[in-house]
């Protein structure tokens, strides 16, 4: 075998060896690649299988603690402020308005002079009545003198008749007695005439006082109807021309009229607190129920309730509207849950999170209701946890992770 053929054979052998080594090299690389991909996948699968499932699958739910609270149900009504007292002042005597001292918006005190009415005829009537009184008094003096003389004569005749029985005739004694009685009657009549004259004078003087119109109580003049020189008709007249002089309103103390629906009148009691909110006043006012009509208006099916509202600075104006919140029901230390915790259907139910953090559905009996809380009469105990919010993704018996809700509505951390 020559050298060329030997070289050729050696080259073919080397080629086969190199090919075999190359194939094995790629096979090893493929195995390493498969292992590099499979091991992380196997580890991840193993770690998920070995991890505790509750921590990953238990859904978080908002819960609230069942606690005892003082509950109060309120009724909010639109109401209106009006004067505590209000009156139209009329004249009791007819005449011309001499002067008027007030105008709208003026504040007056009780007894302040408001207007004066001129009645010239009344002054003349008073003078005549005074003269009649004097004349009657003179008649009394004359009748008194006649009675004194007649009585003295009769007394003397009677005395003589007793001392000397046959000296005075019986007819003379009878005449003396008759004259004495007649003079006594005349005196009594004269005295009665004096009383009549005095009564007439008092009446006229009283009517003269009515010509001065005074304020019956302290308040504000809210209307003025007449001006000086106007003819004023007597307030007791039935004439359609009779008009008041002014309108006086007591505004330092107001009445708040609250129409309460017939559905709630049974819960209204005198002395119950009322919170009043007026748009023009920043802070709410407080008061108590002072009086009620104790009758439901058949037209509106409401009962009027009144609250006295102090108004010393006159910031509140009669006619203003206000919002009045009345406490219609109250429970002390009632077992309460949030309104969102109760599902109301045929039966009222709640989802309770038990000690194992599993959901239990319970039927509860409810009492009074406030905007945020419901009173639970039975079915729950104090300090239990109830779920609040939607139940669409939660079922009874399911394991959950409770998150306590604080009063503001956020979750406690």
- What 3 state SS string does 326-339 have? EEEEEEEEEEEEEH
Give the lowest-confidence range in 130-139, 171-180, 213-222, 224-233: 171-180
pLDDT bin (cut points 50, 70, 90) of residue 51 is: very low
Domain 77-82+252-331 in the same topology as domain 61-71+333-404 = no
Average pLDDT over residues 196-201: 92
State residue 293's pLDDT score.
94
Give pLDDT, residue 335: 92
**Which of 27-36, 127-136, 279-288, 363-372 is the least confident region?**
27-36
pLDDT in tens, 55-98: 457 888 999 999 999 888 888 999 999 999 999 999 888 899 99
What is residue 31's predicted lDDT score, i.e. its pLDDT? 58
Task: Quote the pLDDT of residue 107.
Answer: 95
Which pLDDT value is given to residue 103?
Answer: 96
Give residue 25's pLDDT band: very low, low, confident or very high (50, 70, 90): low
In the predicted model, what is the mean pLDDT of the chain? 83
Determine which of 31-40, 213-222, 347-356 has the lowest per-residue pLDDT on average: 31-40
Span 395-404, mean pLDDT? 90
Asked if residue 35 has pLDDT above 70, the reply is no
Residue 14 in this model has a pLDDT that exceeds 90: no
pLDDT at 291: 95
CA distance 237 to 233: 7
Percent of the chain with pLDDT over 70: 83
pLDDT of residue 29: 54
Q: What is the pLDDT of residue 412?
A: 52
Return the CATH fold of 77-82+252-331. Elongation Factor Tu (Ef-tu); domain 3 (2.40.30)
- Write down the architecture of domain 61-71+333-404 according to CATH: Beta Barrel (2.40)
pLDDT at residue 283 is higher than 80: yes
pTM of the model: 0.61
pLDDT at residue 39 is higher than 70: no
For residues 300 and 261, is the Cβ–Cβ distance under 8 A? no
Least confident range from 119-123, 167-171, 311-315, 377-381: namely: 167-171
Please say if the pLDDT value at position 339 is more than 80.
yes
Whether residue 260 has pLDDT greater than 80: yes
Examine the pLDDT at 350 and tell me if it is beyond 60: yes
For residues 22-43, average pLDDT: 54
pLDDT at position 72 is 82
Predicted local distance difference test score (pLDDT) of residue 23: 52
Residue 8's pLDDT is 46
pLDDT at position 99: 95
Range 201-222 average pLDDT:
92
Domain chopping of the chain, boundaries: 3-48, 61-71+333-404, 77-82+252-331, 91-116+217-244, 120-210
């Amino acid at each position: 075998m020559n050298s060329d053929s030997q070289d050729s054979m050696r080259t073919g052998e080397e080629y086969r060896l190199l090919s075999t080594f190359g194939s094995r090299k790629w096979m090893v690389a493929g195995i390493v690649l498969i292992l590099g991909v499979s091991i992380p996948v196997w580890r991840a699968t193993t770690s998920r299988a070995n991890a505790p499932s509750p921590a990953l699958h238990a859904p978080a739910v908002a819960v609230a603690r069942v606690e005892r609270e003082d509950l109060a149900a309120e009724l909010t009504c639109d109401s209106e402020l009006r004067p505590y007292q209000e009156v139209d002042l009329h004249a009791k005597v007819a005449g011309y308005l001499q002067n008027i001292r007030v105008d709208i918006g003026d504040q007056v005190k009780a007894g302040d002079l408001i207007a004066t009415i001129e009645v010239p005829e009344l002054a003349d009537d008073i003078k005549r009545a005074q003269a009649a009184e004097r004349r009657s008094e003179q008649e009394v003096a004359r009748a008194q003198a006649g009675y004194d003389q007649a009585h003295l004569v009769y007394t003397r005749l009677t005395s003589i008749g007793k001392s000397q029985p046959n000296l005075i005739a019986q007819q003379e004694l009878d005449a003396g007695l008759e004259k004495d009685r007649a003079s006594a009657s005349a005196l009594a009549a004269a005295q009665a005439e004096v009383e009549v004259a005095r009564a007439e004078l008092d009446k006229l003087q009283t009517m003269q006082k009515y010509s001065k119109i005074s304020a019956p109580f302290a308040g504000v003049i809210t209307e003025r109807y007449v001006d000086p020189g106007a003819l004023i008709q007597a307030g007791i007249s039935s004439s359609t021309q009779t008009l008041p002089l002014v309108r006086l309103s007591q505004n330092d103390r107001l009445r708040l009229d609250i129409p309460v629906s017939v559905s709630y009148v049974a819960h209204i009691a005198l002395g119950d607190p009322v919170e009043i909110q007026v748009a023009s006043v920043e802070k709410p006012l407080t008061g108590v129920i002072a009086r009620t009509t104790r009758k439901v208006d058949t037209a509106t099916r409401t009962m009027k309730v009144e609250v006295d509202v102090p108004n010393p600075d006159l910031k509140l104006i009669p006619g203003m509207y206000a919002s009045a919140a009345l406490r219609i029901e109250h429970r002390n230390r009632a077992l309460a849950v949030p309104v969102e915790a109760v599902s109301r259907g045929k039966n009222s139910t709640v989802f309770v999170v038990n000690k194992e953090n599993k959901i239990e559905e319970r039927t509860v009996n409810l009492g009074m209701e406030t905007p945020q809380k419901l009173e639970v009469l039975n079915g729950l105990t104090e300090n239990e946890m109830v779920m609040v919010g939607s139940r669409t993704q939660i079922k009874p018996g399911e394991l959950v992770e409770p998150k306590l809700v604080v009063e503001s509505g956020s979750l406690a951390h």
